[in-house]
């Protein structure tokens, strides 16, 4: 992404100002604004971090701190879909390692990688608060419960 | 003001004082890493836990303000056990680098481990590995594995310099300090992060692997880099002269002075000492005749100067004193000038580019003693002296340290003035283009090789002390000038800097009543009514008699 394309629209800039005014310390709006940046630019590049820093009067290093702290900020271009398989305790006991191995075989990529066609990014994540349905995973904004290799195949098929 | 008890000792402290500072007042050290009196409270390292009566569990002292009736204990079994556990956490991923780490010997991990740790390590897993030997900028090297994430350096860049270059990236045991990718730590005060780093994570690139710190001796001194006069320690390596290629001054460190520089010095000052051991140092008196340079003895050199002072009429002699000379030197010079009736004297030579200045410490006047030279009445018109030399009104020029050819003055005109002279005498620490033109060149001792006082821009007189022997035959300017005075038949007492200072205090009212003892380690402010102001009124200067 070139530097010139990292810029919010006027409406987005108005939203940034609205968010900043909500908090005693404008810096608190950094998180929602970074989410806006990720939605707008696809991922948060270093250029985007510097751009956001400029909107907040903080240094790029301090935006970098926030972006690297949270795993839901993508610092590299991500796939059109994000598959996040839980590998925390309950899911682990219920077979998450096999599920992850199966997804890796199916997609031909490792954890943290994106398929060559840019279709899917695979992640292994900590507890998503659905232990009663273990093993589970999150696909984009939906939860998928009670995973089996067959069910996983079906779900992956549906991702275009 | 809250009154509290710390380890059984009663103490009263101003409201808002935290427990680390309150304990300091009664001589109790509360161990800590992240707390620094100049920085905001981070509460990051958890080492400063103390027990407070009626509080269920140990509390961090740095973030607890003293309150009335508080009863604090810093050495209970529970506190000691807590410290030990916290040390264990800090050292889980810390490499056993001490044998190759510059910080060894002045490392708070080592010190506190020996005092409060001393446990058997229980970790069997591989340590987390992080980047090592990463240059952050021209002066600072990062070893991320050694870092305990106290965030002092991050807060320094945020709160003291306001440049905010550093951050703590990632999280958990992946956390590491660093710069925004592609950026450099280039602020004017970057060296200070090495001083405040309690461990070996940030080390000084200039000092790296140079000398083990336990071989260093420390001398209280004053930075000669600008008119601020920051208090410093000169660390010299006398015990292992073969280390660091014989460089005697190993490093300069800031020395706390609440009224001058607090805990800090700028990078220009910190790394500005290299001239002391430079190849350009003048080490013996020498004379130049028809382009041929020959070494001379001090006796010959003094005789040559005295001869010149007699040969030329006082009006034919011009003197460029230096604002880098100490008060003692300037007073000795003034005695010589008065003895001979010389009135053409100046000390300001404008630099080719104006000096930078900021609101923290750095002053645009890159001389430590302009104020002293003003007060001693040496503030004449330098350009006029050079103009007089061009038309042969001045035939003998006596220059202290300056390179007149590297000034804001037109080099061609300065060159013409030097060319027209019958005699040019140069006294300084290092050779330069002007000394190359002199018939007599006399070696002066550098500030770390002698003692003396500077008067900073605020009118604070501060002492610097001798850290190393003068190179070769170099002498302090007051000593050279004292020999000249003696040869001129004047009364000169013991050859000691302090004697010249005593004479100065009785000769210049602004210095009246001062003594080396009274100046001590933190300096003393001039007592003339307007002397404490940054720029003196002409009336407060003492004119040449």
Give Cα B539 to chain centroid, integer Å. Answer: 31
pLDDT at B411: 93
Compute the nearest-CA separation of A50 from chain B (Å): 9
Residues A101-111, mean pLDDT to the nearest whole number? 95
**Where do the CATH 3.40.50.740 domains begin and end in chain B?**
286-540
For residue B163, the chain A residues in CB contact (below 8 A) are 59
Q: Read off the pLDDT of residues B317-351 as tens digits, 9 standing for 90 and up.
A: 999 999 999 999 999 999 999 999 999 999 999 99
Confidence of residue B201 (pLDDT cuts 50, 70, 90): very high
| Among chain B residues, CA nearest to A69 | B170
Mutation target vs A (from B155, B169, B172; most A CBs, 10 A cutoff): B169
Residue B536 clears pLDDT 70, i.e. is over it: no
CB contact under 8 A, A62 and B167: yes
What is the model's pLDDT at position B177?
97
Q: What is the CA radius of gyration of chain A?
A: 18
Inter-residue contact A34 to A64 (CB < 8 Å): no
CA separation for the pair B179, B406 (Å, rounded):
38
Q: Would you call A61 and B180 a contact, using CB atoms and an 8 Å cutoff?
A: yes
Which pLDDT score, from 0 to 100, does residue B244 have?
77
Average pLDDT over residues B377-389: 96
Domains and CATH numbers, chain A: 3-69 (1.10.10), 81-157 (3.40.30.10)
Check pLDDT > 90 for residue B543. Answer: no
What pLDDT sits at residue A4? Answer: 56
Taking the Cβ of residue A49 and every Cβ of chain B, the question of whether any pair is shorter than 8 Å is answered with yes
Chains A–B, number of C-beta pairs less than 8 Å apart: 36
Q: Which residues of B touch A58 (CB under 8 A)?
A: 164
A57 touches chain B (CB under 8 A): no
Collect all residues of chain B within an 8 Å Cβ-Cβ radius of residue A46.
Answer: 180-182
**pLDDT by residue (tens digit) across B252-302?**
999 999 999 999 999 999 999 999 999 999 999 999 998 899 999 999 999
**Domain B286-540 CATH class label:** alpha beta
Delimit the CATH 3.30.70.20 region(s) of chain B: 98-277
Chain A residues in contact with B179 (beta carbon < 8 A): 61
A71 min Cα distance to partner chain B (Å): 9
Pick from B140, B145, B53: nearest CA to B98: B145
Lowest mean pLDDT among A2-6, A108-112, B308-312, B487-491: A2-6
Six token digits for residue B272? 């500005």
Q: Which CATH number does the domain B98-277 belong to among 3.90.78.10, 3.30.70.890, 3.30.465.10, 3.30.70.20? A: 3.30.70.20
Sign of CA dihedral B132, B133, B137, B139: positive
Percent over 90 (pLDDT), chain B: 92
What is the C-alpha to C-alpha distance for residues B216 and B251, in angstroms, rounded to an integer? 9
Q: What is the pLDDT of residues A32-68, one digit of tens each?
A: 999 999 999 999 999 999 999 999 989 999 999 999 9
Chain B CB contacts of A47 under 8 Å are none
- For the stretch B424-460, pLDDT in tens is 999 999 999 999 999 999 999 999 999 999 999 999 9
**Site from B167, B182, B186, B193 to mutate, A interface, most A CB atoms within 10 angstroms:** B167
A52: chain B residues, CB-CB within 8 Å: none
pLDDT class of A5 with cuts at 50, 70, 90: confident
Contact B415, B397 (CB under 8 A): no
Is A76 within 8 Å of chain B by CB?
A: no
Which of A50, A61, A68 comes nearest B179 by C-beta?
Answer: A61
B279 touches chain A (CB under 8 A): no
Arithmetic mean of pLDDT over chain B: 94
Query: Is the pLDDT confidence value at B534 over 70?
Result: no
* Contact flag B166-A61 (C-beta cutoff 8 Å): yes
Question: CB-CB: which of B163, B171, B180 is closest to A64?
Answer: B180
pLDDT value at B355 more than 80: yes
Average the pLDDT over A78-92 and give the result.
95
* Alpha carbon of A143: minimum distance to chain B alpha carbons (Å): 26
CB under 8 Å to B341, separation ≥6 — which residues?
A: B314
Candidates 3.10.20.30, 3.10.20.740, 3.90.950.10, 3.30.70.270; correct CATH number of B3-91? 3.10.20.740
Looking at chain B, the domain(s) classified CATH 3.10.20.740 span: 3-91
Helix, coil or strand: residue B65:
strand
For B168, name the nearest residue in chain A, comparing CA atoms only: A65
Q: For chain A, what's the residue count?
A: 160
């Amino acid at each position: 992404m070139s530097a010139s394309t990292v810029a919010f629209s006027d409406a987005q800039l108005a939203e940034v100002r609205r968010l900043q005014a909500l908090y005693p310390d404008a810096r608190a709006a950094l998180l929602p604004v970074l989410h806006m940046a990720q939605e707008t630019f696809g991922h948060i590049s270093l250029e985007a971090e510097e751009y956001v820093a400029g909107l907040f009067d903080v240094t790029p290093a301090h935006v970098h701190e926030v972006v690297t702290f949270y795993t839901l900020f993508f610092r590299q271009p991500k796939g059109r879909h994000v598959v996040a398989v839980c590998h925390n305790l309950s899911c682990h006991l219920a077979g998450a390692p096999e599920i992850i191995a199966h997804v890796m075989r199916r997609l031909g990529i490792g954890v943290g990688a994106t398929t060559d066609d840019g279709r899917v990014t695979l992640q292994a994540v900590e507890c998503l608060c659905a232990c009663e349905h273990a093993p589970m995973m999150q696909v984009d904004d939906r939860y998928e419960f009670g995973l089996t290799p067959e069910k996983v195949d079906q779900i992956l098929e549906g991702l275009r | 003001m809250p009154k509290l008890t710390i380890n059984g000792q009663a103490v009263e402290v101003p409201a808002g004082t935290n427990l680390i500072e309150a304990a300091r007042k009664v001589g109790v050290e509360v161990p800590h890493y992240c707390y620094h009196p100049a920085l905001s409270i981070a509460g990051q390292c958890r080492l400063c836990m103390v027990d407070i009566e009626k509080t269920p569990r140990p509390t961090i002292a740095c973030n607890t303000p003293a309150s009335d009736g508080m009863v604090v204990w810093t050495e209970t079994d529970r506190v000691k056990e807590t410290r030990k556990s916290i040390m264990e956490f800090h050292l889980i991923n810390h490499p056993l680098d001490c044998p190759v780490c510059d910080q060894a010997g002045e490392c708070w991990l080592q010190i506190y481990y020996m005092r409060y740790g001393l446990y058997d390590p229980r970790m069997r897993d591989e340590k987390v590995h992080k980047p090592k030997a990463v240059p952050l900028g021209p002066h600072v090297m990062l070893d991320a594995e050694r870092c305990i994430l106290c965030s002092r350096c991050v807060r320094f860049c945020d709160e003291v310099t306001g440049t905010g270059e550093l951050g703590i990236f990632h999280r958990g045991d992946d956390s590491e300090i660093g710069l925004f990718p592609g950026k450099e730590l280039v602020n004017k005060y970057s060296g200070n992060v090495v001083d405040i780093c309690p461990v070996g994570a940030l080390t000084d690139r200039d000092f790296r692997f140079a000398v083990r710190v336990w071989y260093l001796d420390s001398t209280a001194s004053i930075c000669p880099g600008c008119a601020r006069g920051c208090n410093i320690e000169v660390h010299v390596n006398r015990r292992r002269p073969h280390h660091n290629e014989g460089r005697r001054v190993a490093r300069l460190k800031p020395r706390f002075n609440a009224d001058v520089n607090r805990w800090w010095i700028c990078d220009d000052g910190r790394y500005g000492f290299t001239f002391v051991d430079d190849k350009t140092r003048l080490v013996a008196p020498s004379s130049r005749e028809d382009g041929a340079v020959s070494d001379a003895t001090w006796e010959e050199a003094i005789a040559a100067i005295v001869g010149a002072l007699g040969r030329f009429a006082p009006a034919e002699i011009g003197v460029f004193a230096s604002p880098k000379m100490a008060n003692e030197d300037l007073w000795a010079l003034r005695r010589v000038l008065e003895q001979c009736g010389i009135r053409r004297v100046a000390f300001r030579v404008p630099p080719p580019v104006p000096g930078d200045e900021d609101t923290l410490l750095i002053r645009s006047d890159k001389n430590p003693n302009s104020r002293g030279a003003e007060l001693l009445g040496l503030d004449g018109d330098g350009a006029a002296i050079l103009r007089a030399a061009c038309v042969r009104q001045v035939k003998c020029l006596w220059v202290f340290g300056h390179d007149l050819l590297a000034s804001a003055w037109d080099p061609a005109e300065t060159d013409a003035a030097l060319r027209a002279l019958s005699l040019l005498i140069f006294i300084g620490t290092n050779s330069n283009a002007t000394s190359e033109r002199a018939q007599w060149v006399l070696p002066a001792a550098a500030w770390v090789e002698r003692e003396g006082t500077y008067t900073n821009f605020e009118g604070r007189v501060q002492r610097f002390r001798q850290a190393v022997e003068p190179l070769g035959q170099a002498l302090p300017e007051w000593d050279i000038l004292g020999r000249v005075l003696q040869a001129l038949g004047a009364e000169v007492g013991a050859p000691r800097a302090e004697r010249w200072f005593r004479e100065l205090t009785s000769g210049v009212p602004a210095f009246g009543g001062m003594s080396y003892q009274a100046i001590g380690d933190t300096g003393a402010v001039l007592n003339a009514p307007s002397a404490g102001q940054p720029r003196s009124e002409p009336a407060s200067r003492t004119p040449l008699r």
